[in-house]
Structure 1
């Protein structure tokens, strides 16, 4: 009898919860319908005749209004089983309309109700420009457009900003790394690479999102009325069969990973064969540093996003290199302690990133973003520039927001820490030391890297891997028992040290194979021995002299490798220790190097590498930490 009442209680709670949820959704829609003119499935023509589908929400007013524009490859159809539902974009539309803006959301070319063929970033770039022109010419528009979005809704904005449309008045890109191609010495090409090594996230992402070329298609020229009608019955959002993505990632060769799980492969097939400086990277929708930049921007990045360093490098590039001085002077940045696109999820007094609490990381995001738009799109003299720091960044460990006029802060001084040991730095039980004094003699540390037994990824700066990898800060202690991880640690700190800025590292290496990879992690070791990751990177040895050529190693020779920079803001408290881990794999965060010197992407068999890290007065492997001097 008790079980009967228990089941009734659960069922009743379920229906009450869902009833309240439906009521809340209906209230959002009802409020939006009361204050907004809603125009759905508007087909906006591009210069080649292809039409892109958009939903338009605008205030019920005779006054001309500015526009907040979001462009996406994802589904925003808000009809399911013939009933209208509330989506996140409908909530954003309500927020914008209440603040006096029209809100326009558009699907990229070839996605859902938009015509044409899809490619990553919604190329051609002119689609964004043509949509700006259409919006500017609407009788209800004041001619000012602000672009807004995170991840795929942010990345396309970068290359379009280089076109400098006269109505593109301001932008708010968040988690925008996959829109960055080449900037400075970084050749990530839209997060496809890190240090010349494939980042495996796209293998999961493309399996999920790429629509099949044999999908049902709406006839060209369908009327808006017909599109609205059929959208009640067809959301055009097919789901691929669920798979074990962790198991899928293990497949070799990696060029067949999506094919092996029966996914669509056209976009992946053409990208997986590209090298880091392939000319095709410069023909699509990526932003590269030889392009100008024409839009005031309020950038949002996060410490545990997969592309934190390129994001910060791009911010500096625009500030220093835009041709228009007024554009250079109107770049602002926020860096939060979150994962990819989780800015507003830190809504409690205790923000947990992975396993680690970073304190109360809340920030008035919406207030600042709309103040930015009010300034640029409405012309309001709201003192945004006087009230808003140039750079707002969250310092973990101290668990506070800080401000600076530059990134890194001007009082960050690079201090060099050298790797040292007596040749036995393998695992946390070894003798690896991190010191500010340069070692005098060379006792190289050797470890074996077997690509069939790679170091597994645990935590870190990730996105989009279908929960194959847990993102954020995780205790690395168990990982550090492996002999294929070299561990170098400072003495216990007798006072706290704040590290804020870019972290550079140089390794002197040798190997018995032609090509291999080298990884590094920066770790905060707590007094109880728990060791939490802050950032990580990797470098393929063949690209140590640049990404326009491949230079292979010779057995026994020592080579200098400069790894791509890491970035963080972390306070290592008194009693903590600073640690770095060195290895040759971080899988499946990064693709495994099979050590053959071949293409890697089309190979099934690997060979074992015996890799050495050297540290002496001549070959002083080291890491440079930006220490804040008070």
Structure 2
């Protein structure tokens, strides 16, 4: 009775404080759901995780849609009730599901110490165990989420809990440690260079060592009362990351921004093969994954290529044929977790993608109905294995696999007269092999004056970078960018799939980076970026060792694959840019051969890209045969 009176009081307060719209969704939810907030779910070590449960009224056993997050899902913010969690709960309950949302260990009202991806991964297993044994559960659990609410799913799924029946993972790259050719350790690295998104993200997310905490034995009724006044969240001062990310040494960036003291300090010192990456919440391709999964990827997200590689890995490695058959993929032309923001004229950066909308609710609930309720619906008949959006032609397409079966990989060679610097230079990209004496292209890389990131496949960098497709033509006037461009296309060309590149490089320094971008050049000269990658040359022979360069010696460098689907219309040109920096998308290489993260002084070097019969620098493009 006491809990009921408290709940009624909360509803009345919601109406008075938050306005009719918020109150309306609460009353709608209350009319169909049993609402049980701040349930402290026990883990095997005694730690309790704060959990809100919304389930249909009545005695029917129902499947569970579960979302676990490091973010604040409190329905009270600044003394007012918010609608997002309530709307998600209503969507699930109105369809006959229980909706359960939980904070990771150490976040907000959850007890314990937080680490990235909510480790230990046994927390996920224990949550599945607790939920599946509730009298209102039908014993089947589905996972849903984007970004941090998706990235923990794969490692936990590898534990093979019998109740886990389906996953919907969107923008999940930071949960992928190693898969195939990709060893990004949860997007911390690409090609061995740090992706600086985590510096900005951890500033606003990581817990301080001395954060306030509540008594371990606090009761649910007290948490229900307290959630109206406190949400245990930090209120971080705003930071201009376009300025703060320039600070050196890199290890002190958050300290310089007067941020919290937390896990960044230890993570920034980890090398790509550090054992710690294999002991946390990341999924690696030596772990089993036997769960039906619906994967959602974005062309302008931070990790399109490794995400698609994971879809392929699970589909090819699953021991259960039914699991292998229940792997589906959607690739949308949007930014990180922006699927539902697509419109009739979807603009991503500066480039129009046309009508890029999909009915994501219909897709995900149809998936769950099939696998959690056992409904014999039309999901498999109406949804292709792979649904991908081709930019340029601006259309959704479908395939049985990715890469596509009708793919012809064409090798394009870098050529020049030795002056490919900037788009005003003589760099060319063609099917013609270079001659024996084709001169190399040289440029000066000064880490104190790096090539700035402009648009791109990014996430979570605050004010530092706006993601998406932007005209690079003015940037291409820099002499430290080598530009190689094809002739005008007489016929349109669709390039869909993984893009691999091999460059022959020399440097005057012991270590440096090589960056590359794929560009669609329009007849009016606008040059729109499609994808980008980087390779730290000390890791050119693998991430288990560091091999420095000898001055001016030529080295073969295979870059981490890019991926896209783009139609280059007649009159367009295909272009690649090669440089040694893309900052602050990627951490600057200071070129010294030292640790980089604890250094403040850089070394200016001269880097050369060689392209000749002996050193054929190439990019391999997947052309779709029509």
TM-score (norm 2): 0.96
- Do the aligned partners of 2:17 and 2:81 also contact (CA within 8 Å) in 1? no
2:81 pairs, out of 77, 80, 84, with: 84
2:555 matches 1:556? no
Equivalents in 1 of 2:479, 2:78: separation in Å? 56
Q: CA deviation at 1:187?
A: 1.0
Q: Where in structure 2 are the equivalents of 1:152-551 lying within 5 Å?
A: 152-346=148-342, 348-440=343-435, 441-551=437-547
Q: Tell me the distance in 1 between the aligned counterparts of 2:17 and 2:271.
A: 52
Please, which runs of 5 or more residues in structure 2 have no aligned partner?
A: 1-15
**Ranges in structure 1 where 5+ consecutive residues have no aligned partner:** 1-18
CA distance in 1, matches of 2:549, 2:504: 12
CA positional deviation for 1:434: 0.3
Alpha-carbon distance in 1 for matches of 2:54, 2:198: 33
Deviates more, 1:606-615 or 1:229-238: 229-238
| Matches of 2:298 and 2:94, distance apart in 1 | 28
In structure 1, distance between residues paired with 2:234 and 2:506: 49
* 1:69-89: CA deviation from partner (whole Å, max 9, x where unpaired): 000000011123544331x22
Mapped to 2, the partners of 1:292 and 1:399 lie a distance apart of 37
Question: 1:4: which partner in 2?
Answer: none
**Partner in structure 1 of residue 51 of structure 2:** 54
State the distance in 1 between where 2:181 and 2:531 align: 19
Runs of 4+ aligned residues of structure 1 deviating over 3 Å after TM superposition are 19-22, 80-83
1:22 positional shift: 3.5
CA spacing shift, 1:20–1:428, aligned 2, 3 Å: farther
CA distance in 2, matches of 1:213, 1:538: 34
Question: Following the alignment from structure 1 to structure 2, what is the Cα–Cα distance between the partners of residues 312 and 85?
Answer: 35
1:52–1:107: 8 Å Cα contact kept in structure 2?
Answer: yes
Distance 1:615 1:243 in 2: 43
Aligned to 2:143: 147
Q: After alignment, is 262-271 or 53-62 more displaced? A: 262-271
| CA positional deviation for 1:215 | 2.1
TM-aligned CA deviation for residue 122 of structure 1: 0.2
Q: Larger deviation: 326-335 or 565-574?
A: 326-335
- Mapped to 2, the partners of 1:53 and 1:102 lie a distance apart of 16
Give, in whole Å, the separation in 2 of the partners of 1:625 and 1:521: 13
Q: Is the 8 A contact 1:121 1:285 kept in 2?
A: yes
Q: What SS class does the counterpart of residue 283 from structure 2 fall into? A: coil
Match of residue 619 from structure 1? 615
Tell me the SS of whatever aligns to 1:341.
coil
Give me the whole-angstrom Cα distance separating, in 1, the residues matched to 2:17 and 2:273: 53
Shift of 1:329: 1.6
More displaced stretch, 474-483 vs 232-241: 232-241
- 1:163/1:294 contact within 8 Å kept: no
Q: The residue matched to 2:123 in structure 1 has which SS?
A: helix
Deviation at 1:26, TM superposition (A): 2.1
How far apart, CA to CA, are the structure 2 residues paired with 1:567 and 1:530?
Answer: 21
Using the alignment, how far apart are the partners of 2:233 and 2:200 within structure 1?
17
Tell me how far apart the structure 1 counterparts of residues 294 and 146 of structure 2 sit (CA, whole Å). Answer: 12
Query: How far, CA to CA, are the matches of 2:78 and 2:609 in structure 1?
Result: 60
Equivalent in the alignment of 1:9: none
CA distance in 1, matches of 2:60, 2:157: 27
Which residues of 2 match residues 14-33 of structure 1 at below 5 A? Answer: 22-33=19-30
Is contact 1:37-1:58 (8 Å) kept? Answer: yes
- CA positional deviation for 1:62: 1.6
Whole-Å separation in 2 of the counterparts to 1:244 and 1:536: 24
By how many angstroms is 1:213 displaced? 2.7
Q: Deviations over 1:98-134 (max 9, x none)?
A: 1110000000000001000000000000000000010
Q: Distance in 2 between matches of 1:21 and 1:528?
A: 51
Q: How does 1:592-607 map onto structure 2 within 5 Å?
A: 592-607=588-603
Deviation at 1:606, TM superposition (A): 0.6
The separation in 1 between residues aligned to 2:58 and 2:477, in whole angstroms, is: 66
Q: The residue matched to 2:576 in structure 1 has which SS? A: strand
Indicate if the aligned counterparts of 2:515 and 2:535 stay in contact, CA closer than 8 A: yes
